[in-house]
Structure 1
Amino acid sequence: MKKVIVALSVGMLIGSSSMAVAATSKKVQATLANFKVIVNGQSKSVTSDQLLYKGNTYLQLREAAKILGYEVNYASSTRSIEFSAKSQSQADWITLIDLSASNGYQVNLKGDSSDVYNISKNLKTILSVNANGLKEDEEKVVTAPSGNTVRIKKLQGSLVLNRADLKKAGLIL
């Protein structure tokens, strides 16, 4: 009889402690979905489901980085996630979004075109980029108002500009 009482007591202790832990843990209700991911007009394949939570869609960082052409590394000692260009040649190029964010430029579509961009600062156009008909890995040259040329190309579906050319034209440091 003592064994039964001890076993029941231990069982009740374990049960009540797991209930206490469950009561203090946050629960999240989310929905799994599988969306079509499109980057610069090109459909990209994803292997994992996306998570929908409170009107936001979440994609695994490693998969998002792969789609955008980056590698992801995690450093457990510093608890940091590092994104890096997959190749040196890719690091030689900068997207319009990164150019805008790092230099305070505004990037706008010119008129109704989906392939002509005006890059401006303080309402002054510093570069007009016509990517009309540009194919993947194909390069094209545009001329800045300063007379310097800047190479552009589509790299993994994104329009990118050559960093060295932008530096030579005085558009980035």
Structure 2
Amino acid sequence: MKMKKVIIALSVGLLVGSSSMAVAATSQKVQATLANFKIMVNGQSKSVASNQLLYKGNTYVQLREAAKILGYEVNYRSATRSIEFSAKSQSQAEWITLIDLSAAYGYKVELKGDSADVYNVSKNLNTLLTVNANGLKEAEEKVVADPSGNTIRYKKLQGSLVLHREDLKKSGLIR
């Protein structure tokens, strides 16, 4: 009788142990490295609270951290398993970064010569705007003219150089 209890206990123990090993065998493990890089946005250094993750030659930044330094809020919708990005404020939605302008509308944005704060915005080898952010302070607003003479306001918003969307629409540069 005692031997029967020992065999049953041992069998149960082996069964539990083997099932947890099966789960561990199907779990995927990755080997990565934690790093702390200087994060730059439009030439401005941004501080982040978390380290970055290096894995297979790629650097990963937490979504909330990335969104914060780019001026967005992040919300997770569990019902749809979706991650939503939105501008932090209505006034910020009125502005578009040079990076977003390039990505959304196909403009080429590059530094003019060896200057750190003067950007050429071009398309099909035609320069449409030259934006001089040299010495521009946070929230300070300036104006640049497109080739037709339309003025486009720009400023530094949360360390990023941004252009006024409505001005870009009026000049025909965006829809």
Q: TM-score range by the shorter chain?
A: over 0.9
For residue 94 of structure 1, report the CA deviation from its aligned partner.
0.4
TM norm structure 1 = 0.94
Give 1:21-32 correspondences, 5 Å limit.
Answer: 21-32=23-34
Q: Which runs of 5+ in 2 are unaligned?
A: none
Q: Which runs of 5+ in 1 are unaligned?
A: none
Give 1:9-48 correspondences, 5 Å limit.
Answer: 9-48=11-50
For 1:153, what is the secondary structure of its paired residue? strand
Give the aligned partner of residue 166 of structure 1: 168
TM norm structure 2 = 0.93
For 2:155, what is the secondary structure of its paired residue? strand
Number of aligned pairs? 173
For residue 111 of structure 1, report the CA deviation from its aligned partner.
1.3
Pair 1:105 & 2:100 matched: no
Cα separation, 1, equivalents of 2:172 and 2:93? 19
In structure 2, what residue type is equivalent to 1:145? P
For residue 40 of structure 1, report the CA deviation from its aligned partner.
2.7
Residues 108-165 of structure 1: CA distance to partner in whole angstroms, max 9, x if unpaired? 2111111111111111111111111111111111111111100010111111000011
Give the aligned partner of residue 82 of structure 1: 84
Residues 58-97 of structure 1: CA distance to partner in whole angstroms, max 9, x if unpaired? 1111121112111001111221111000000000000111
Cα separation, 1, equivalents of 2:135 and 2:154? 12
Give 1:2-151 correspondences, 5 Å limit.
Answer: 2-151=4-153
RMSD of equivalent CA atoms: 1.3
Q: Is the CA contact (8 Å cut-off) linking 2:32 and 2:54 kept in structure 1? A: yes
Cα separation, 1, equivalents of 2:102 and 2:63? 23
Q: Is the CA contact (8 Å cut-off) linking 2:74 and 2:86 kept in structure 1? A: yes
Runs of 4+ in 1 over 3 A off after TM superposition: none
Q: Is the CA contact (8 Å cut-off) linking 2:44 and 2:160 kept in structure 1? A: no
Identity value in percent: 82
